[in-house]
Structure 1
């Protein structure tokens, strides 16, 4: 690593601003921030990562590998990586209504290409959980890893972790999360951020008493995406009521939520739009910059 510890701290504390970073320094800091976030020890907030550092990387180096492929996973959960039952991609991000409109325009164009009536197309919206992404095949639980290979973390279920709504296992992709109200009341004095706590559930070391109790209390859970509450409606309804839909979705669950995921429900159209190396084109996550940080 070429970034010194002192420079890293100065970037974190915003003593060194973006215009004081070279392209290489910025890219390396983004990679470090991503790895520490995925390992459960974030060095900057999710807001700052998305809206300051990653946004600047996208502006300067739009073809950087961090923006084109699934971000790598470190060795915190296991040294050996195993093949996932199916590829797990990331989710494309939109940070404004204009970007959502561009996504809708791509949907409209795809409808014309396959002869579908845009008025028949339904959009599904669900909360974007801020947890640890995983895949449950009913026998094993895996981290997302690089999208193709991840860590086997079945030990979390062996420790007693339950599923959201007491649903059956084996429902595929989801996230390990902790109830927001529970974290604030019982865990916030011991863990700086819910992500630090979530990582402690997954790592190979023995659980501490508070972590085990959160599992026993069904406050820490694996939430299959298929079990999330949702809004479903037409594209015209989405256009007319976007702000209201987003506001409602953000308050649907007692978990940390950092956005809203919009996706198509029409299987033919989903197959036609397909995916690139990083995300599905038929799905997008809207994330609003609440901090409006200035650098």
Structure 2
């Protein structure tokens, strides 16, 4: 098990949680393979706070695994029934103009089918014509959740009370697609291409930048430049590209819809959001304290594939940065076809023997977490991982080709 050591920002956030937990104790929680139920609850609270503050310590899929395991022990625990709170070191909370709930999750096609059955059942209960049921599918942005009422920009907070971060707009943050203010819920995000080309060597992950945009302290000059150049935006959910159709169409074309939505935007996503668009059904199904029953997020379970490297070429970004690119035998994984891998450091290509004929194992945990575990031929072992908290390893940006 890797040893976790918190940085100064993470320590400040943990201390704000008031969990009566020492920093060394917290680090041991993430290092240990075994936890009591109480320790597991504490681990979840710490991991959630760090993630929502822009300084994640573990991967999304690891957090989800811990969360699902905890549910088996205490499904009625208040932590599981309410929106996971966020922690910002500064700012006072204010009441949100509208509740912002979390989203329930599904990890398989079968779970999606069961959700559509609940939608159909709800329609029958109110005598709603099932031929009129429509499902909307959008990318699930992996950014910083916020709500814009046209005057104030709020963080999601605990779903009822958030923090005023209007200063982000005052710093020049634009709304995606040059839209106006007041479009409700969305996320603060940064373009993947810009992050990889310009900021990936300075920042461990894009959430560091999202946190910097809304922080009360002075904005880092590179982050400010990203704002000025339109790479950072507030993206209202209502502006996202979407697929809308019947349940029958959704289930029969699910793989193609998955791939289409995955490739629709140049921002990090960590799944798809599916929701009923029918107001009577939404009203009838309602919500729990944590999420809407008429909405669900689809996140893919871990899948893997062995892929052959065809050749390694170089590409030059618009900033003049040269990076090696491994061209792969096109391989479909989790609904997306992988054909290229941008490796950000030439030394790693040389050291690990990434070249024509090398066979590598790709592992995708969720829609965005692609990991090369090892080459499965007799060539040099590879251990490249897209872990935001592992800054010493090569980060890969897998480009999708339909």
After TM superposition, the score normalised by the length of structure 1 is: 0.93
Compared with structure 1, are the counterparts of its residues 252 and 208 closer, same or farther at alpha carbon in structure 2 (3 Å cutoff)? Answer: same
Query: Quick one: distance in 2 between partners of 1:144 and 1:234?
Result: 31
Give the conservation status (yes or no) of the 8 Å contact 2:154–2:166.
yes
Asked whether the equivalents of residues 77 and 153 of structure 1 are also in contact (C-alpha less than 8 Å), the reply is no
Distance 1:175 1:113, change over 3 A: same
Match of 1:56 in 2: 69
1:75 alignment partner in structure 2:
88
- The two structures have a TM-score, normalised by structure 2, of 0.69
Match of 1:177 among 165, 189, 195: 189
CA distance in structure 2 between the aligned counterparts of 1:191 and 1:151, rounded to whole angstroms: 25
Deviations 1:20-51 (Å, cap 9, x if unpaired)? Answer: 2110011110011001111111111112111x
How many angstroms apart in 1 are the aligned matches of 2:181 and 2:90? 21
Q: Which residue of 1 aligns with 2:35?
A: 21
Shift of 1:3: 5.3
Count of residue pairs the alignment pairs up: 287
Match for residue 386 of structure 2? none
Within the candidate set 29, 37, 42, 2:56 is matched to 42
Deviation at 1:11, TM superposition (A): 4.5
4+ residue runs over 3 A deviation: 1-13, 290-293
5+ residue gaps, structure 1: none
Task: Name the SS of the counterpart of 2:189 in structure 1.
Answer: strand
Structure-2 separation of matches of 1:208 and 1:104: 45
Does 2:21 correspond to 1:9? no
What's the CA shift for 1:239? 1.0
Report the secondary structure of 2:238's partner residue.
Answer: helix
Conserved? CA contact 2:145–2:187, under 8 Å: yes
Q: Is the 8 A contact 1:77 1:151 kept in 2?
A: no
More helix by share: 1
Do structure 1's residue 145 and structure 2's residue 157 form an aligned pair?
yes
Higher relative contact order (CA 8 A, sep 6+): 1
CA root-mean-square deviation: 1.5
CA distance in 2, matches of 1:10, 1:188: 29
Partner residue of 2:47 out of 23, 33, 53? 33
| Contact 2:30 2:43 (8 Å CA) reproduced | no
Task: Measure how far apart 1:12 and its partner are.
Answer: 3.3
